[in-house]
Structures are given as structure tokens and as C-alpha cells.
């Protein structure tokens, strides 16, 4: 059989192969490139907090289920902040970083649809952020069990709320990476300087507890808080709003992330690089 008679992959098969190729190429940058070092440092920060607490706080008489539950619910708010800043760094650099590095044109000149380029870059960054921040969530959760000893830790994890809470916190971490990642990927495509909009998004997320119920829904943190196994105490000045059901939080974040990714893909179709302007 001659080479000319072989069927070339087309349609969905070609798109899948090209997307996987972009993911593999970008994953190397995400895990081993220069932009990966700040992510490793950020991912380690939430582990330091419970470790210092266990080493220096007097927890010997507090080894009860309630202590780990309430303590980690507060630590996890710091974990979400870490995911936010990590997403700013990782996802805004997917396109803006390559424009500044004068390397994006290699992708744009290749025979790959712009939509696939956006999806491939997003999925590779999502993979890296989920792995790094997911490991940070896992490690920071388990560190709190050091004072318990092995037997009590296993009992709490298997017969108490431990494993259920851990699974929920890992799910929230994944959804936070997906939601914030989509926001900042689009930001990096639309704006030359993503710092100001990143600050605006941060401010919006921080004041979410002060917003009326309708406006609360236009934020990532509102839907994430609806999944937390321990409700967040928003203080006496918070505007009371009915928390969303768990399934609504998951579906809502997936839909919003997909919508933002679609807008980013449409923007990428008209993307033109003029290095002299940057």
C-alpha cells in the first residue's frame, strides 16, 4: 500500500491529536519551566501554616474531631487565596507571557485551530494547578493529624468525617483552579496588563460577603463556599443569602468556566501579535 493511499486523520481525531500535543508541550512548561517555580512555592505555603500550628501550639489536649474540623476550615480559606494568586500567575501567562517572550507566533503560524490552542493551553495549566494545589490541600489537611498518632488518625479518617471532608476540599480546590483559571486565561487574552483586572477580581471576591444575594452569584467564591463542609463565618456585617445546593455549585462553576473558555476561544480567532506594541 502506497503512502498516498493511507487515510489521513481528519475531524475529531485530528483535533484530539493536536490538542493532546499542545497539552504535552505546555505541561512541560507548566511543571518544569521558569513560570513553575512560583507555583511550587505557593503550593507549599498552606502546608507551613498547620505545620507551625502543630509544632508550636498546645494541641495535646485538643485532639478531638471538632478541633481538626474547625481548624482546617479556617486554613482552607488561605488555601483558596493561594489558588487565586497561583491562577493569576499561571493562566495569564499562557498567552500574555508568550507574547512578551516573543514566542507565541510559533503557535499562530502552525496549522492548528486557535480554539484548540486555547483549550490545550487551558487544560495543561489546569492539570498543573490541580496537581500542585491538590497536593498542597492534601498535605495541609493530613499535617493536622500528626498529634493524633497513626491509629487515631486512621480512625478519624475512615470512621469519622475525615475522608469525606478531604474529598470535598479537594473537589473545591479543583473547581477553584478551573474557575479562576478560565477567568485569568480570558484576562490574559483581552488585556495587555492583567494586573489591574486581577486586583479588581480579587477585590470583588473579598467583598462578596457584603454584596446583595443577586450580585454574590457573579463570583467564584460564592459557589465554592456552597460546597465547603464547614460553613464560612462571614461576620455580623455580611448580607445573608441562601447558599447554593452542592450540585448547583458544581454545575454552575463548570458552566461558567466553559462559557469563559468559549469566549477566550472566540477572542483567539482574531488574535494578532504585534511584538513592537508590547
DSSP string, 216-236: HTSSHHHHHHTT-SS-----T
pLDDT tens track of the chain, all 278 residues? 444 444 454 678 887 888 888 888 888 888 887 778 888 989 899 888 888 887 776 554 555 666 777 888 888 999 999 999 999 998 988 887 777 667 676 777 777 788 888 898 999 999 999 999 999 999 998 888 777 766 677 777 777 777 888 999 999 999 999 999 999 999 988 877 778 888 999 998 888 888 888 888 888 988 898 898 887 776 666 677 777 888 888 998 999 999 999 999 888 887 766 655 55
Which contacts qualify for 57-60: CB closer than 8 Å, 24 or more apart? 59/147, 60/147
Question: Given this model, what pLDDT does residue 19 score?
Answer: 84
CA distance 50 to 67: 12
Of 261, 258, 199, 207, the closest CA to residue 234 belongs to 207
- The contacts of residue 56 (CB under 8 Å, 6+ apart) are none
Q: Does residue 112 sit in helix, strand or coil? A: coil
Tell me which H or E stretch contains 264: helix 246-269
Q: What is the pLDDT of residue 58?
A: 58
Q: Please give the model's pTM, rounded to 2 decimal places.
A: 0.86
- pLDDT value of position 154: 75
Q: How far apart are CA 217 and CA 86, in angstroms?
A: 23
Q: What is the pLDDT of residue 7?
A: 44
In this predicted structure, what is the pLDDT of residue 65?
Answer: 60
- Grid cell digits, residue 150: 497513626
Amino acid at each position: 500500500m502506497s503512502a498516498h493511499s493511507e487515510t489521513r486523520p481528519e475531524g475529531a481525531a485530528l483535533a484530539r491529536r493536536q490538542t493532546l500535543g499542545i497539552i504535552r508541550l505546555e505541561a512541560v512548561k507548566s511543571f518544569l519551566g521558569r513560570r513553575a517555580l512560583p507555583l511550587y512555592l505557593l503550593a507549599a505555603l498552606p502546608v507551613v501554616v498547620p505545620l507551625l500550628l502543630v509544632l508550636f501550639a498546645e494541641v495535646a489536649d485538643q485532639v478531638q474531631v471538632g478541633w481538626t474540623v474547625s481548624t482546617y476550615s479556617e486554613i482552607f480559606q488561605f488555601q483558596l487565596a493561594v489558588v487565586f494568586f497561583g491562577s493569576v500567575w499561571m493562566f495569564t501567562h499562557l498567552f500574555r507571557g508568550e507574547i512578551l517572550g516573543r514566542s507565541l507566533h510559533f503557535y499562530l503560524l502552525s496549522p492548528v485551530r486557535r480554539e484548540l490552542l486555547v483549550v490545550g493551553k487551558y487544560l495543561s495549566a489546569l492539570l498543573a494547578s490541580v496537581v500542585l494545589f491538590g497536593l498542597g490541600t492534601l498535605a495541609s489537611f493530613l499535617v493536622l493529624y500528626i498529634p493524633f498518632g497513626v491509629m487515631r488518625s486512621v480512625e478519624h479518617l475512615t470512621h469519622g468525617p475525615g475522608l469525606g471532608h478531604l474529598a470535598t476540599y479537594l473537589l473545591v480546590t479543583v473547581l477553584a483552579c478551573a474557575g479562576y483559571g478560565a477567568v485569568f486565561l480570558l484576562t490574559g487574552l483581552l488585556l495587555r496588563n492583567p494586573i489591574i483586572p486581577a486586583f479588581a477580581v480579587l477585590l470583588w471576591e473579598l467583598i462578596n460577603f457584603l454584596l446583595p444575594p443577586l450580585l454574590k452569584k457573579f463570583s467564584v467564591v460564592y459557589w465554592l463556599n456552597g460546597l465547603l463542609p464547614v460553613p464560612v463565618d462571614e461576620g455580623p456585617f455580611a448580607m445573608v443569602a441562601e447558599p447554593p445546593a452542592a450540585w448547583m455549585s458544581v454545575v454552575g462553576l463548570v458552566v461558567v468556566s466553559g462559557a469563559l473558555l468559549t469566549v477566550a476561544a472566540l477572542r483567539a480567532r482574531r488574535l494578532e501579535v504585534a511584538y513592537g506594541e508590547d
